[in-house]
Amino acid sequence: MKKRILALLLALALALTVFVGCQGGGGDSDDLPVLRVAVMPFYISVPIGFIIDNEMDIANGFRIEPIMFPTGAPMNEAIASDAFDVATIGGAFVFGVANQGNRVIANHIDGTGGNEIWAFRDSELATVQGHNPDFPNVLGSPETVAGLQLAQTTGTTSQFLMNHWMEAIGVSDTDVSIVHMDFAQVFQAFRAEQVDVASLTSPYCFQTDPDTMIRVADLKDLNQNLYEVIAITDRAYNNEEIRELIPTFLRVLFEANDLLESCDEIKFEAVRKWYDDNGTSASDDDIRGEMALKPFITTEVARNSTMGAFEVAFAEFMVQQELLEPDRVEVVRGNVTSVFLDKALR
């Protein structure tokens, strides 16, 4: 089975390479222009790994240099040091876009699924469902959550989820104790029962123990949508050579997404390899669960989508949390551009 999957993967990649090769790609990869892409060891960056593994970048006349970061927040910290050109980034995109001149140039993953609040089954909050009738599937109430310790990854979609849950059940920051940790640390602290409630992203939300733990809410329960985005730094945006590369990069990215979404086994092998190569722990069931919840956005979907609504809504949320100044919302609105994507997909 594995040999058949790999053969299919190679055949599809070869077919794409032949197609783009006829358009003038290829050549000595050492002489090709380089695009430095900030990545994470998670699902968000799987398409980049797929492109590199199958030399889709080289076939299209450029070379991707992946720059690894543990989360999106350190990516923003690295902008000033000119560490990368574009990034695969989640909710942390908003700070680089609002404060450092980054632009969002594409949404490449529907990341609504795989973001979940978890608690322990013996917690009192698990006994209350639908406290707010607008959110009938959500667990918890002010009385059952007050005084608890909550863990999140601040400045990311983890915080976005946690805050929407607290707002839905009528809990404020002063009612609870919030602990700020990286994604993996949040899960580790929750599993060790060092915190009462955890905002977990995939694959960690798939590694919970259903016998002792219970899902409190997810983004769909809270009527929220979420996208993983591609952002370009201000320096790269104003570099003519890099600007010329970006439409090709985006076209290849969505071609990779098309291939990954065309066959579950190809997609599974790509995710599995990316996780194994980068030390991310996830079972095969975890990966398949993540695949089902977080589709890669295809060329067709991208062509029929409008950018900006999610990015502005996320910025407004950060203003509500007093993590952005109110005037930054319009900055974010102005720093979402489809100019490269329009060129890539026309």
Rounded to 5°, the CA angle 208-1-205 comes to 10
Nearest to 275 by CA among 200, 179, 204: 204
pLDDT band at 242 (very low <50, low <70, confident <90, very high): very high
Q: List Cβ<8 Å contacts ≥24 apart for 206-212.
A: 206/114, 206/282, 206/283, 206/285, 206/286, 206/289, 206/290, 207/281, 207/282, 207/283, 207/286, 208/118, 211/121, 212/120, 212/121, 212/122
104 bridge partner residues: 231, 336
pLDDT digits (tens, 9 = 90+) for 53-82: 999 999 999 999 999 999 999 999 999 999
Contact 155, 77 (CB under 8 A): no
Q: Is 90 a residue whose pLDDT tops 70?
A: yes
| Whether pLDDT at 116 is above 90 | yes
Give the model's pLDDT for residue 156: 81
pLDDT, tens only, 286-308: 999 999 999 999 999 999 999 99
pLDDT score of 51: 98
Stronger pLDDT, 158 or 27, i.e. the higher one? 158
pLDDT band at 1 (very low <50, low <70, confident <90, very high): very low
pLDDT of residue 18: 38
Q: What is the pLDDT of residue 129?
A: 98
* CA dist., res. 155 & res. 236, Å (int): 23
What is Dmax (Cα atoms) for the chain? 66
Phi, psi for 53 (deg, rounded to 5): -60, -35
Average pLDDT, the chain: 91
Q: What is the pLDDT of residue 9?
A: 52
Instruction: Identify the pLDDT of residue 2.
Output: 43
For the segment 143-171, what is each residue's pLDDT rounded down to a tens digit? Answer: 999 999 999 998 788 998 999 999 999 99
- Domains detected in the chain: 2-111+226-345 (3.40.190.10), 115-218 (3.40.190.10)
- What would the mean pLDDT of 313-332 be, rounded to a whole number? 92
Per DSSP, the residues of 277-331 read: HTT----HHHHHHHHHHSPBPPHHHHHT---SHHHHHHHHHHHHTTSS-TTHHHH
- Whether the pLDDT of residue 254 is over 60: the answer is yes
Q: Which pLDDT value is given to residue 317?
A: 86
pTM for this entry: 0.79
Mean pLDDT of 122-136: 97
pLDDT at 277 over 70: yes
Distance CA 258, CA 263 (A): 9
The predicted pLDDT at position 30 comes to 79
pLDDT for 12: 57
